Chain A
Amino acid sequence: DAGITQSPRHKVTETGTPVTLRCHQTENHRYMYWYRQDPGHGLRLIHYSYGVKDTDKGEVSDGYSVSRSKTEDFLLTLESATSSQTSVYFCAISLEGPYSRANVLTFGAGSRLTVL
């Protein structure tokens, strides 16, 4: 299996608190992504990164920020968590970019976040 580690795997927090989820990869893939998965929705892209310090917004980026200071680490931050951000968050990596026909994603195990 690809080396992708997400932490924490489970977190319960209160509305208004900051939360940071970490994704760490050992595959040296250039592209990294954060998705959220909710019942009744397909996986939705929050942010992605195409290199160190290079990031861009996805379709549901409001309320989230990201940082990538090293190739292997991609952080997702909820500055002030809300109940609508209760979800399962998946990090993914890929060798090819988002516009490549061969863009195959490898996912981490997920981080389950509950905001009370």
Chain B
Amino acid sequence: RKEVEQDPGPFNVPEGATVAFNCTYSNSASQSFFWYRQDCRKEPKLLMSVYSSGNEDGRFTAQLNRASQYISLLIRDSKLSDSATYLCVVNKNSNSGYALNFGKGTSLLVTP
């Protein structure tokens, strides 16, 4: 099992739709979870951290399921400007080496 797996998409949705992405991770000891957003040919930017109890930021909701080892991102009322690639990031919680694993990203295209 890859350390962080995401459906690459693309997800094509109309404006106003609700869309959800899942991300699975392999290290059960992971403690930190994030969603980053990356626009085409731009740098990744933090969208939101994911907390154990789930958290919401406007139209975006993130959930963590430790038992099944996945995190999700829900986008409500999609806007054209939400079109981007969404990167799932999970830490390794390791005592050696580097600590963050990036998924390959899920591509979202919101159409008029």
Contacts and interface: CB of A to CB of B under 8 A. Distances in A.
A42 B104 contact: yes
A43 interface: yes
Contact of B32 (A41, A103, A109): A103
A85 to B, nearest CB: 19
A42 B31 CA distance: 19
B contact patch SS: loop
Given A98-B100, A104-B49, A42 B87 contact: yes
A40 B105 CA distance: 9
Interface residues of B, number: 25
A104 B50 CA distance: 12
Bin chain A's interface residue count. Answer: 20 to 34
19 contacts: A42-B104, A42-B105, A43-B44, A43-B87, A45-B98, A45-B100, A48-B98, A56-B98, A58-B98, A59-B98, A90-B44, A99-B99, A101-B32, A102-B49, A103-B100, A104-B46, A106-B46, A109-B42, A109-B43
Interface of B: 4, 31-32, 34, 41-46, 49, 87, 91, 93-95, 97-105
